[in-house]
Chains A and B, each alone.
Chain A
């Protein structure tokens, strides 16, 4: 029998961390200062064998092929050497290098989910370091660089341009700025470079579908992981992704090469913005009532692609967690950023075109 009456219950989703726009933050905002100090910590000892170290994290993206034995497709691709390599480096085991290094996905529809997972585990390493510092927040989140927001946001954020900064732990003193690297084109570091309108255009957001052998938002549909051989890249990867890499790194700067790009601290904020643009695209597709969004065998209008949709969702990638333990993550785990294990959202996912086609 019924109880009658009324019960009232709240439904509050678990808290999420908010990834903030670096172009709206002051240089001394704790989000930036703790990021800088965490990088310093990751670089301690110049380690290459420690999964949570700065150099190891970069090697996950790519490392010179002679050290990543067995990844054949890399051998045919002109690669740079490791700029930090030295004879005293201790390398991880061959098996580990093959499994964890040189895993970055480009020119295919794994580009977006792989980099989302890559950013997630990097962010968790920083979070752990930051939370252990005196006064460190437990909900630190990676900021993003929205270079397309205003005219001035097309300049490299000032916090990344100065070789030295005030030392927040020793009032009155200065220290080396770990957000600065000299391996950028000079104009980026002296603040005179404004990324061109073409480089930071977000016209990619107007492209549907997610995956296609021709033009697509997310890249070519393939059924295996691929470093760069999959097919045509997605429009987001083309611009602003490639364009900003090239504009900041130039011919020889860190941002211009697969091996070196993650050694530049701005790499992570640039990719965070690329990740945000994926979310903007999804929200925009929803607002326009387009069902063809992220690959999903339940909603894919192209029946023949349901199998590959499922493969896209299920194929696992290898990473390490913040404690250095091996973990895997598949695309299906990164579809909704607001739920665990990701639990973040972006300050701004507004559609710049306001729903216009």
Chain B
């Protein structure tokens, strides 16, 4: 079973829980003794299960764990539920937490950031049994990262506590609301059993040393342009993660012998544990193809971590699909209710990112279908898959004026609820072929072979050229997929930026 990657127990929007494959039987090689000497040997550390929290649960470049008052599936509560289930299957398996950063930024900076993320997760896990210790850890991280008004606002609105609440009380209440009561993990449940006051053996950061994904040279050049920083950070998301490993029942380590440095310590201890070619493993790029740990198992620089995680289902990256929802005038739709159906699965009700439309009389922060939300990442739905589907069916509507934060999700049994529907093509070849261009046209609302003709649209390619000529002046309106058209199509499609189309300046009211 050496090439077995274990089994995935459950996934959520921001994590995965899984069981490691059975370890090979441990063979003891012992020498004959002549007297009363003993052979001494030591059991290997064997992880039996794993749990991963993804980047999406943290603020960007921060260790602050976000919360969504409207939907517990959209914050870490979803993953902690997975962990509760996993712990039921593996009682008394001791834990250890490993944080990871992406390769952007220095090793030293990322060592500390990944360490803080590991610390924050560790604290959250023990928050139901030792809230004071948990709060103390969060406060240390908060001071280092200068958590301020945005974090306080999130915590206040989530807990309902007033402004001015003391940090101790606010942090405690916030963690209490995030951690399910069934989660009963104490310091003693970790691998070093809390023996080291700074958590050696129990939680640590691995900096950017163990990436699961290394961009190809071509992609890296493209994504290194400053205009592509959002795309680059998105593409790097799988590398930013926190792993919690569950070890064989009875495992215990002495902090003095634990190879990983503490969360607050520098990189030297890590580098001692590198493969001899560790630097190459974590940074070499192929010309055209991404390197992935899942494919070749050679992207981790740290051999200690490598040995623990080689066949872990939690280092098999799930793919993320982000779909940005627009209105027919190509304006993004924050807070849009929608129904997503992957082939062969049950429809899933969700809401797009962004603030709900403001009540009448208040200056709208982001009115659905307005230019106000153009610059932000509003109107995006995110879901995770084990492999990219060819298409998914999406039904959606503009958010209603009466819908406020916490508004109910749409009813999947009420098709009447949705204004728009599209089979969105997910798998599109990265080229300018006719097939790829037509798929992009369809995602942008210009189906070249619609089931029913759309009155007024005319030829779909001409309609696209007419509507997008303002933004891409070199487009030639001739109804053919000429080169400026395919290029504009690809740019517009892949950036998912809004385009103000002809007629898009009418302020629609509903």
Contacts and interface: CB of A to CB of B under 8 A. Distances in A.
A294 B416 contact: yes
Given A6-B234, A286-B400, A349-B510, A14 B455 contact: no
Contacts, number: 188
A1 B322 contact: no
Interface residues of A, number: 52
B414 A2 contact: no
B387 interface: yes
B328 A347 contact: no
Interface string B407-430: 000000111110111101110000
A315 interface: no
Nearest to A344: B455
Interface stretch (A15-23, A46-54, A176-184): A15-23
Interface in B93-111: none
Interface in B435-479: 443-447, 450-458, 463, 467
Contacts of B142: none
Contact of A13 (B320, B326, B387, B414): B326
B324 A10 contact: yes
A40 B212 CA distance: 69
Interface residues of B, number: 74
Contacts of B321: 6-7, 9
A355 B359 CA distance: 12
Nearest to A298: B413
Interface stretch (B37-45, B162-170, B187-195, B500-508): B500-508
Nearest to B510: A349
B173 interface: no
A18 B509 contact: no
A140 interface: yes
A141 B454 CA distance: 13
Interface stretch (B62-70, B275-283, B311-319): B311-319
A76 B483 CA distance: 67
Contacts of A298: 413-415
Contact of B443 (A1, A11, A286, A345): A11
A291 interface: yes
A213 interface: no
B387 A3 contact: yes
A354 B361 CA distance: 12
Nearest to A333: B452
Contacts of A94: none
B185 interface: no
Contacts of A355: 402
Given A11-B424, A299-B416, A2 B318 contact: yes
Contacts of A156: none
B506 A18 contact: yes
Q: Chain A: interface secondary structure? A: loop
Contacts of A2: 294, 316-319, 385-387
Contacts of A344: 455
B447 A14 contact: yes
A18 B506 CA distance: 9
Nearest to A348: B509
A6 B450 CA distance: 28
B303 to A, nearest CB: 22
Contacts of A4: 212-213, 238, 290, 292, 294, 317-319
B252 interface: no
Given A2-B387, A4-B317, A343-B457, A283 B510 contact: yes
B488 interface: no
A345 B325 contact: no
B264 interface: no
A60 interface: no
A190 interface: no
A5 B324 contact: no
Give the residue among B321, B416, B445, B455 with the most A Cβ atoms within 10 A. Answer: B455
Contact of B454 (A291, A340, A349): A340
Nearest to B331: A12
A324 interface: no
Contacts of A339: 420-421
A9 B445 contact: no
B237 interface: yes
A264 B210 CA distance: 76
A343 B456 CA distance: 9
Interface string B215-254: 0000000000000000100110110000000000000000
Contacts of A74: none
A336 interface: yes
B422 A127 contact: no
A5 B506 contact: no
A116 to B, nearest CB: 14
B332 to A, nearest CB: 9
B455 A342 contact: yes
B426 A338 contact: no
A9 B322 contact: yes
A2 B321 CA distance: 12
B509 A15 contact: no
B129 interface: no
Interface in B379-418: 385-388, 394, 396, 400-402, 413-417
21 contacts: A1-B316, A4-B213, A4-B318, A5-B320, A6-B234, A7-B426, A9-B321, A9-B324, A9-B426, A11-B394, A13-B420, A16-B328, A18-B503, A20-B506, A138-B457, A294-B416, A340-B455, A343-B455, A347-B509, A348-B509, A355-B402
Given A10-B444, A14-B450, 10 more contacts: A1-B386, A2-B294, A4-B213, A4-B317, A7-B321, A7-B388, A11-B424, A12-B422, A293-B416, A350-B510
